[in-house]
């Protein structure tokens, strides 16, 4: 009797990452999303974007990576920072080391020059992984050290993409609303609940966060989603392999 393959052997998360080998609909979907995001951002030299979701499993981290890759394809300097120091996924999705990283820098055990930032040449982006899991991630994100880090990254990069933990589980994303130029909320077909989405909006708006729009993810096949800004809707397509 043949043994069943492990899930990790059956599913390669890197196949979900945007690349030259991605399908045409997927590449076009992220081009459309990129355009919508750029039109929604204020005219600053360097832009910091937070990617959030209401719950886990909605595809937030994959979309954060793909937005970064899409921006990098326009010859911009882009970095992804994994701010989910409880259950990080960015490093595993693109095949890099998880630590040392953000938590180590914020705790003062490493400086930003000590090879904390990893270059991912395959996708044209830089990544600051989550690092060792700390006892109190919220305190680290709300520290002056985190404010200093964002300011430092914005001096060097055109775009800083922050991947946050789910908003209805912890308040980490709202803590940095004053430093983030805008948030993208990822919702997933047949998973996201209206009351949780509503609560996510409430928490972000309570902290005076600028919400750029929503990305509807995971319907399967070649589908369509709505991207909202203010009172208008911008139509965008997505593709899920």
pLDDT digits (tens, 9 = 90+) for 49-59: 999 988 887 78
CA 204/CA 104 separation, integer angstroms: 27
CA 58/CA 190 separation, integer angstroms: 10
Across 28-32, 123-127, 159-163, least confident range:
28-32
126: Cβ contacts below 8 Å, ≥ 6 apart:
77, 78, 79, 80, 117, 118, 119, 120, 157
Instruction: Classify residue 142: in a domain, yes or no.
Output: yes
Question: Which tokens is 48 given?
Answer: 């910091």
Instruction: Classify residue 171: in a domain, yes or no.
Output: yes
Residue 72 pLDDT more than 80?
Answer: yes
Mean pLDDT of the 188-196 span: 67
> 138, 85 in Cβ contact below 8 A?
no
Residue 125 pLDDT more than 50?
Answer: yes
Instruction: Classify residue 36: in a domain, yes or no.
Output: no
Residue 104 pLDDT more than 60?
Answer: yes
CA 133/CA 176 separation, integer angstroms: 19
Residue 76 pLDDT more than 70?
Answer: yes
Instruction: Classify residue 90: in a domain, yes or no.
Output: yes
Instruction: Classify residue 1: in a domain, yes or no.
Output: no
Which CATH number do you get for residue 109?
3.40.50.300
> 166, 54 in Cβ contact below 8 A?
yes
Instruction: Classify residue 161: in a domain, yes or no.
Output: yes
pLDDT at res. 2: 47
Q: How many domains does the chain have?
A: 1
Residue 224 pLDDT more than 50?
Answer: no
Instruction: Classify residue 233: in a domain, yes or no.
Output: yes
Domain that holds residue 76: 46-240
Instruction: Classify residue 82: in a domain, yes or no.
Output: yes
DSSP 75: T
């Amino acid at each position: 009797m043949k043994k069943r393959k492990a899930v990790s052997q059956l599913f390669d998360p890197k196949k979900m990452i945007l690349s030259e080998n991605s399908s045409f609909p997927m590449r076009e979907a992220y081009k459309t999303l990129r355009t919508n995001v750029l039109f929604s951002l204020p005219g600053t030299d360097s832009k910091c974007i937070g990617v959030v979701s209401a719950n886990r499993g909605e595809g937030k981290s994959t979309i954060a990576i793909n937005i970064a890759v899409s921006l990098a394809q326009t010859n911009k300097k882009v970095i992804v920072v994994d701010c989910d120091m409880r259950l990080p996924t960015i490093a595993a999705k693109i095949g890099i080391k998880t630590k040392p990283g953000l938590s180590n820098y914020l705790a003062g055990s490493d400086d930003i020059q000590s090879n904390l930032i990893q270059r991912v040449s395959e996708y044209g982006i830089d990544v600051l992984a989550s690092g060792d899991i700390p006892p109190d991630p919220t305190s680290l994100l709300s520290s002056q050290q985190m404010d200093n880090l964002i300011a430092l990254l914005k001096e060097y990069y055109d775009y800083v993409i922050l991947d946050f933990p789910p908003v209805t589980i912890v308040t980490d994303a709202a803590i940095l609303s004053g430093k983030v130029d805008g948030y993208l909320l990822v919702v997933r077909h047949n998973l996201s609940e209206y009351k949780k989405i509503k609560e996510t909006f409430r928490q972000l708006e309570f902290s005076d966060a600028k919400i750029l729009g929503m990305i509807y993810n995971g319907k399967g096949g070649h589908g369509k989603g709505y991207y909202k800004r203010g009172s208008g809707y911008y139509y965008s397509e997505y593709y899920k392999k």
